Structures are given as C-alpha cells and as structure tokens.
Chain A
Amino acid sequence: MVKYFYLITLLPLIGFLVNGLFGYKIKNEKVSGIIGSATILGSFVITILSFLELLSLPESNRAVVVNLFDWITSGTINIKVSYLIDPLSITMCLIITGVGFLIHVYSIGYMHGDKGFARFFAFMNLFIFAMLNLVLGDNFLLMFLGWEGVGLCSYLLIGFFYEKKFTGDAANKAFWMNRIGDFGFMTAMFFIFVATKSLNFATVFSSIQSNTISASIITTIALLLFLGATGKSAQIPLYVWLPDAMAGPTPVSALIHAATMVTAGVYMVGRCSVIFALSPLAMNVVLIIGCLTAFMAATIAIKQNDIKKILAYSTISQLGFMFMAMGVGAFSTGIFHVTTHAFFKALMFLGAGSVIHGMLDEQDVTRMGGLKSYMKTTFWTFLVGGIAIAGIPPFSGFFSKDEILSKLFFSGNYVVFAVAVFTAFLTAFYVFRLIGLTFYGKERFDSHHVHPHESPATMTVPLIILAVLSVVGGFIGMPHIFSTNLIEHWLEPVYSKALVLIPEHHAVASTEIALIISSVLVAVIAIIVSVNLFIKKGMLTIGTGKFFEAMQNKYYVDEWYDKNIVTPIRKLSDLSYSFFDVKIIDGLVNGSGKFFRNISFDWRKLQTGIAQDYAIISIAGIIAILLYVILR
C-alpha cells in the first residue's frame, strides 16, 4: 500500500486540474461531478486499505513514513515531501475522504444548474488535496502548505457566488482572520527551527522532550501554535469569520466549515501534543479559550434566525468542546469528538442545504415551519443529527461529549466542567429550537410562491449514510465502564509520549455512571423545555431585554472589532500613506531624480544632437593624442 500511497493526494489534484483547466470546455455536469467525486472515492479506498494495513501492524510500529521527494535542500535545512501514516493521520484521512466523498456526491444534486459547476468541483478537489497534505505531512512546513492551501480554498469557496458583494467581503474576512492565525503558526515554526534545527515532527518532538530547550521557549511555541489554531478553528478571539463564511454554498459549509478544515486546529494541537503537554500554561490557555468559546457561541446560537448561522455558531461551540478536551490532555477524546462531530454536523449542514434547496434559497427559520410533511427524508435525518449533537445515547454525540465532560470533571477543573455542562444544555436547546421552527408548527412561508419539495436522491442518499454514521459512530469510543474505548486505544501510540507528561486522573466508576446519567438528564431536560416552548407553544424566539438583545447581536463583537481594530488600522494606513508614502518614499524617489537633473543641467548642452559636432570633438581628441605621442 505504501507504494501507491502517493495516489491519495495525487487523485484529488488530478481532479482539480481536470475540472479547473478543462471544466469550462467539458460543460457537462455529469462528467465534472463524476470526475470530482470519483477522485475522492479513490482516495477514500486508498485510505481504507492503508487503515487496514496499519491495523495489521503491531501497535508499536504503527507509524509509517512515505518519502516522496526532497522539497527544500539548502545548507542544513532538508525538508522532504513525505507523509506520516499513523493512527492520528489515518483517522483524519478517513473523515476527510469519507465525509468528503459523501459531500461531493451531495453537491452533484445541490449545485445542479449552477454556471460554476466545474469550478466548484475543482475547488473542492483542491481543498481535499490541501487538507490531506495538512494531516499527512510529516513536517511542519508541509503541514503549513496544507494549512495555507485549505485557507485559500476556504476563501475561494466562501466567495463562490462572487457576483454578490457580501460573499466577497465574507471571503476576505475569513482570509484576514486566518492570516492573523498564520502569523502565529509561522512564528512558532521559526522558534521551533531555531530551537531544534529541524522541522520534522519526530526530530522536533524528541529534541523538545530532551529538556535542552527552556520552558519559556516551549510555552511561547505552544501559545503561538495555538494562536494559529484559533484562527483556523474559529476560537476566541478569531472566531468571527466562521458565521460570515456561511455565505458560501452549503456543501462547502458542511465540508470545510464544519467537518474538516475547522478541525485542523484541533488536529494540530493533537499532533503537537508533546509541545503542549510540556507547557501547563499553554494547556490552561487552550482549556479556558475552548470553554469560553463553547459557552459564548452556544448563547449566540440561541438567538439567531438564519439556519446556517445557528449551525455555524454550533460548530464554533463544538470546536470549543474539542479544545477543552485538548486542554486537559484528553487528546484522543478531542479527536473522537472531531470524528463524531464530522458525522452529525456534516449531516445537519447537508440537511439544512436540502431545506434551503427545497425552499427556494430561504434561510430564515422564522419563515419556515411545518416542513416535516414535505421533506420526510431530510426531516428524519436532520432529527438524527439533532439528537446526536444534543447527546442522547446511543447516538454518537453522546459518547464523545460525555467523554469530554467526564475528562473535564476528573481533571479537577470543576468550573470549566460546570460551564461545559451548561453549554451542553444550551446545545440541545438551540438545536431543538432549530428543528421545531423548521419542521414543526404552522407554515410561515408564502405557500403561493414556495412549494417545498424533497431533494433528489444524490442529496438524500448521503444524508441517510451520514445519519447511520451519526447513530453508530459513537460506539468506537464507549466509556470505560462498559467496554474498551476503541478509538482511545487506537490513538494511544501517537499520544504515549505526551500522556506520560500529564498527571493521570483516575476515573471512579460510580462517579462516571453518575456523570453519564446527569449529562443525559441535562440533554433530556433541554430538549423537553425546547420542545415545549417552540413546538407546543409555537414561540419563535425567547427572551427580551438588553442581555438577549446582545446575544442576538453576537455581543457586538464585530462592531467592537470594527471600532477598535479595523478603524484604527485604517487610520494608521491613511496616515502612513499621506505621510510616509507620499512624503518620504515618493520624496526620496523624486528627490534623487531632481538632484541628478539639476547637476546635469549645464552639461547636457554639450550634446547638440548634430553628428558633425561630435565628429569635431572626436577628431580634436585624436589630434590631442597624436600631439601627445609625438611631442612626448
């Protein structure tokens, strides 16, 4: 398998090139769609085969490096394009190619009739290519290549409907926010290279563990890396781009802004677990930022009315959960939540896309209602996703979220634990508000113009598959008291080095059962309250007053950023333009021109432009030389 492993990234790249270069000539949705999806299916097959081969290896040998070619060789720097196949990267690859393939198939139906059909598939393929490089790269630079690549694809796909101005603005916002994160990542890479003289994961981690690097440097590296993660994974303070990113097509929101790209930050923290584990301060920052983000985004989600915005804030909140897990050293639990979240959040986004598709691009849930009878498949699958995210056993979200909660509890962070439980309550609450407003109650849309209908099979089949995965996906991570936790065991070799550095917390079985029961109770109560308010009483929103208004307006964070960061930077740019650029830069350039023109003003009269004058001068020169030679 190793021999053909390069195909895993080559296939999506080929798909990108074919659709990107010749898509406008093919002009055939079937051909473009099949090329786009088949390449991802190919990658998925290779991933599964590699996964099986990795399973057959003994646990300690489950890290295979595939060298493709030398990338940069200069002095002591030698960076290879080589892929690291280990349980962590293969897990991510399974999500990326598996969920990615389903979303590609769904897109064939969703993007039907769009004039940018081939362009869409080209960008999606390029995204898969970049994302696979991100998770497979065995050095920081290749990871960074993928990191930037997914950022670029995110930008291109958010701004996909480029005729509308707000999509371009949203794309720019996402790009700039990510640049701030990238600054952190790059600076961290410089520090790493200076400290360890290498960018290769294995070398870096072993030299960081060898105690030759001071703790403050490690903390700096970890915090800078986490700044990168906050950009890509939409955490405080850089989360504001993700809700705006919903301007892109819905499959993009499902693939990039829910299932895969936004989890890159979690993956990166997981990959660099050794660095983080050595810095308790950085771990606490990760924990607190994750906690704050999860809570804040969940409260905002309650008051939103745009179906995709609700899901976007939900994604931010769930990413916060993943970082909380990372922050207490439960790395495999974080990756477990990445996996289950990829299933149910992709499902919910695709379901939302199906609703939007059937409602003629209506996104406001207050103008939906009663869609249950029109879209049966969409409704049932969406409900499955909702139950999964709310955390009702045995749906997948329950296992991962409960695992995070119990890890938080046993690590002794009781305040964070309490906030997380409350956030879980809010999660179930807003998800069932969304379901209630969309599928139940009176029909609040204009039934003369809008005729809701079920989507074609290319869209519903991926929904059904994802729904099945959302139901059964959790069994790979059963709580310890019931059976062995497969995913934790599977990921253990990756984290063995980091886990010895983190104080181990012994779970108490009776406490764990109590936690499970209470977390289920919290979810059930939230669902009952939500169903009561939004389905039985038919309310559209809850709460009035200043506080709820602030929630509806996203706590005025965008406005605050605009006033305190964007405007001052604009003013500074204006100032530096009118002063530095016009006066100093232009002054230097024009001044040097003027200087030479002035000193040459008299001399240039020598050049009359008449050939004979030049001839006289040269003959006078010749005569002078001859006289000198003769009379010497």
Chain B
Amino acid sequence: MQLNFFLILALILFTIGVLGVLVRRNAIIIFMCIELMLNSVNLILVAFSSYLGNINGQIFVFFIMSVAAAEAAIGLAIIIALFRNKQTINIDEMNILKW
C-alpha cells in the first residue's frame, strides 16, 4: 500500500470537514464536520506511524480519540443548551458575538 493513498484520502476528508464547518448552518452538521477533521488527522498519524515504523503516532491517535470523546459530550451539551434558549440550532441565529 502506498502512503500517498492514505494522505489523499485524509486530505479529502479534512477538506470536506473544513468546508462543512464554513458553509453549513446546522450546528449538529458543523459538529460532525469537526469530528471528521479530527479523524482525518488520526488517519494521517496512523499512516505515518505504519510507514515509519514508529509507534508514537498511534499513541497520539489514542489521545485525540479520548479528547474527541470528551469534546463530543461537551459540544452536544452546548448545542442542547443553545436549543433551549433559542428554539433552533441554526448557527446564523447565534449572532450576538459582536460589539
């Protein structure tokens, strides 16, 4: 297996994530896109770990997965709190972050 395939797949996944975060308006989708970005990075770490024969990359992946799990709990809680306040999860409605 060539390393490039993995990298290209990860690149595609990451770009999908970034574009999703930027253009989608549904908070849940944005959240999922963030997860997608994290996992594409995981893929790169695993691929390099296998390619270089260095276990460090895989350990990092474990860290990222556990952090992502915690982040998912908090992120979903925030989204629920937002929904309770605004009765919507459309991100355009959350526009009070200004002067």
Contact residues, B71-99 vs A (CB, 8 A): 91-92, 94-99
Known contacts A610-B92, A610-B94; A604/B99 CB under 8 A: yes
Q: State whether A611 touches B18 (Cβ < 8 A).
A: no
Q: Which residues of chain A are within 8 angstroms of B92 by Cβ–Cβ distance?
A: 610
Is the CB–CB distance between A611 and B99 below 8 Å?
no
Contacting pair B95 A615 (CB below 8 A): no
A616 at the B interface (CB under 8 A)? yes
Could you tell me the distance between the alpha carbons of A609 and B92 in the complex, rounded to whole angstroms? 9
Contact assessment for A611 and B94 in the assembled complex, using a CB-CB cutoff below 8 Å? yes
In this assembly, does A612 line the interface, its C-beta being within 8 Å of a C-beta of chain B? yes
| Residue from B22, B96, B98, B99 within 8 A of A612 (CB atoms) | B22
Distance in angstroms from B44 CB to nearest chain A CB is 16
Check A619 for interface membership: any CB of B closer than 8 A: yes
Within the complex, what minimum Cβ distance (angstroms) separates B50 from chain A? Answer: 26
Beta-carbon nearest neighbor of A610 in chain B: B95
* In the complex with contacts A616-B22, A619-B18, A619-B22, A611-B91 CB distance below 8 A: yes
Chain B residue total in the interface (Cβ 8 A) = 13
| Cα separation A611 to B22 with both chains bound (whole Å) | 9
CA of A538 to CA of B91, assembled, Å: 99
Collect the chain A residues with CB atoms within 8 Å of residue B30's CB.
612
Interface centre among B18, B92, B98, B99 (most CB of A within 10 A): B98
Q: Which of A609, A615, A616, A619 is the one whose CB lies under 8 Å from B96?
A: A609
Asked if A608 contacts B21 (CB within 8 A), the reply is: no
CA A607 to CA B98, docked complex, whole Å: 6
- How far is the CB of A624 from the nearest CB of chain B, in Å? 15
Instruction: Determine the distance from Cα of A612 to Cα of B90 in the docked complex, in whole angstroms.
Output: 12
Distance between Cα atoms of A615 and B18 in the complex (Å) = 10
* Chain A, Cβ-Cβ closest to B18: A619
Instruction: Choose from B18, B21, B22, B97 the contact partner of A609 (Cβ within 8 Å).
Output: B97
Chain A: minimal CB distance from B91 (Å): 6
Cα distance A619–B99 when bound, in Å? 22
Of B18, B96, B97, chain A has the most CB atoms within 10 Å of the CB of: B97
User: A610 — which chain B residues lie within 8 A by C-beta?
Assistant: 91-92, 94-95, 97
Q: Which of A604, A608, A616 contacts B95 (CB 8 A)?
A: A608
CB-based nearest A residue for B98: A609
Residues of A within 8 A of B97 (CB): 607, 609-611, 614
- B75 CB → nearest A CB, Å: 13
Which chain A residues numbered 596 to 611 have a C-beta less than 8 Å away from chain B?
Answer: 604, 607-611
Which residues of A lie under 8 Å from residue B18 when comparing CB positions?
619
Q: Which residues of A contact B94 (CB under 8 A)?
A: 609-611
Complex CA–CA separation, A609 to B98 (angstroms): 5
Closest A residue to B30 using CB positions: A612
Closest Cβ of chain A: how far from B88's Cβ, in Å? 14
CA distance A619 to B18 in the complex (A): 9
Rounded to whole Å, the gap between the CB of A316 and the closest CB of chain B is 65
Instruction: Flag B12-37 by CB within 8 Å of A: 1 or 0 each.
Output: 00000010011100000010000000
Chain A's closest residue to B23 (CB) is: A612
Cα–Cα, bound, A616→B18 (Å): 9
- Which residue of chain A lies nearest to B92 when distances are taken between CB atoms in the complex? A610
Instruction: Tell me if B95 and A612 are in contact (CB < 8 A).
Output: no
Establish whether residues A609 and B95, one from each chain, have CB atoms under 8 Å apart when the complex forms: yes
CB distance B22 to A615 under 8 Å?
A: yes
Closest chain A CB from B78 CB (angstroms)? 12
Specify which chain A residues have a CB less than 8 angstroms from the CB of B99 in the assembled complex: 604, 607
Those of A151-202 within 8 Å (CB) of chain B: none
Chain A interface (Cβ < 8 Å from any Cβ of B): 604, 607-612, 614-616, 619
A-B contact pairs, 28 of them (CB 8 A): A604-B98, A604-B99, A607-B97, A607-B98, A608-B95, A608-B98, A609-B94, A609-B95, A609-B96, A609-B97, A609-B98, A610-B91, A610-B92, A610-B95, A611-B91, A611-B94, A611-B97, A612-B21, A612-B22, A612-B23, A612-B30, A612-B91, A614-B97, A615-B21, A615-B22, A616-B22, A619-B18, A619-B22
Sample of 16 further A-B pairs with CB below 8 A, known A604-B98, A609-B97: A607-B97, A608-B95, A609-B95, A609-B98, A610-B91, A610-B92, A610-B94, A610-B97, A611-B94, A611-B97, A612-B22, A612-B30, A614-B97, A616-B22, A619-B18, A619-B22
Interface pairs A-B: 5 shortest CB-CB? A609-B98, A609-B95, A607-B98, A609-B97, A610-B95
